[in-house]
Amino acid sequence: MKIRKAVIPAAGLGTRMLPATKTVPKEMLPLVDKPVIQYIIEEAVASGIEDILVVTNRAKSAMDDYFDYTPELEDRLMRAGKTEELEAVRRTADIANIFYVRQKETKGLGHAVYRAKRFAGDEPFAVLLGDDVMMAGVPVTKQLIDAAELHGASAVGTQLVAPQQISKYSSLKVEPLSARVMRVLDMNEKPRPSEKFSDYAILGRYVLTSDIFRILENTAPGYGGEVQLTDGLRELCKCAPMVAVDFLGRRYDTGSLKGFLEATIDFALQSGEVGAWLREFIGNKAKSF
Ligand code: G1P
């Protein structure tokens, strides 16, 4: 099972980050020096993905502009001898084969993934949620692909979350299979505390077989009146093998202000000169509190 394709649902309205996201897509907000979506695409590419479909909406054309050439800017940078900047700008345009499709109505994550049916065809594919940014040694998508290939199964990325947090996610019913890998038996979306299966939450990464399309076609709206990917996966895990990978790495919910700030600080601390400067800046700030 070779996984060459990935789908990035990025058609959400960004309502948790208003007013910043009124005209700028949340995926285009800069984390240090790159937009959020670039981190996601770089993770896919580092995991061996060649073709990427971004599911957008009519307010998000800044994303496809960003991954295009910018002849005027590039020409100016070249003439000014700004080679580092020129390379950074060009790299974004040559990063992968990126395709776009619009989700014309906001009908949920399951509905957005269903838009990838023609793109995926019969091939298994990865799904990376557009606002879940990961910091990991081995890219999280690669960890899932390895487990999916080893077990001949679909895979979801999971971690334990605090018991009071699970109702923000999907909750998994699992049984251990091998180190960090569990068999998925059931799941539910945003359960009330009494309904949860466990505190293992799906966190923004999936490897799916094309069977999901046949299921999503007939999945009725669920939580919040939207077609939930979780409801489709619930059916998929009952008719085909599915594993949950307790991945190594840290996940940031950049669609929320706190998650976005955490990611900004952590990624800035990791980045060379700026990191050293920020460490000193935060150290001095801490002293004055
Ligand atoms: C979505 C999924 C949910 C998953 C979560 C991870 O929820 O529906 O199952 O646990 O992403 O980030 P959302 O964040 O869109 O509410």
β-pairing, 97-102 vs 51-56, is parallel
Q: Which residue from 170, 206, 253 has its CB within 8 A of the most atoms of ligand 1, so it is best to mutate?
A: 170
Q: Which residue from 7, 27, 158, 202 has its CB within 8 A of the most atoms of ligand 1, so it is best to mutate?
A: 202
- What is the SS3 string spanning 93-109? HCCCEEEEEECCCCCCH
Number of structural domains (the chain) is 1
Expressed in angstroms and rounded, the spacing between residue 109 Cα and the centre of ligand 1 is: 8
pLDDT of residue 235: 97
Averaged pLDDT for residues 52-73? 91
| Element housing 133 (H / E) | strand 132-135
Least confident of 53-67, 181-195, 216-230, 246-260: 53-67
Angle between helical axes of 36-46 and 140-151 (0-180°, round to 10) = 40
Q: Count Cβ atoms within 10 A of the Cβ of residue 192 and give its class: 0-12 exposed, 13-18 middle, 19 or more buried.
A: exposed
> 142 is in which domain, residue-wise?
5-287
Averaged pLDDT for residues 52-78? 92
CATH number at residue 42: 3.90.550.10
Length of the chain: 289
- Contact criterion met (CB below 8 Å) for 56 and 64: yes
Residue 114, both tokens: 């269903």
- Contact criterion met (CB below 8 Å) for 43 and 34: no
pLDDT of residue 15: 85
pTM metric for this prediction: 0.94
Percent residues over pLDDT 70 in the chain = 100
Q: Which atom of ligand 1 is nearest to the CA of 223?
A: 8
Residue 147 has pLDDT above 90, yes or no: yes
Q: Count Cβ atoms within 10 A of the Cβ of residue 211 and give its class: 0-12 exposed, 13-18 middle, 19 or more buried.
A: middle
Expressed in angstroms and rounded, the spacing between residue 203 Cα and the centre of ligand 1 is: 7
| Cβ < 6 A, ligand 1 pocket | 109, 129, 132, 169-170, 189, 201-204, 228-230
* pLDDT tens profile 154-178: 999 999 999 999 999 999 999 999 9
User: Which residue's alpha carbon is at the smallest distance from atom 9 of ligand 1?
Assistant: 170
User: Which residue's alpha carbon is at the smallest distance from atom 15 of ligand 1?
Assistant: 109
Q: Which atom of ligand 1 is nearest to the CA of 168?
A: 16
Expressed in angstroms and rounded, the spacing between residue 79 Cα and the centre of ligand 1 is: 46
Confidence of residue 134 (pLDDT cuts 50, 70, 90): very high
Residue 1 has pLDDT above 80, yes or no: no
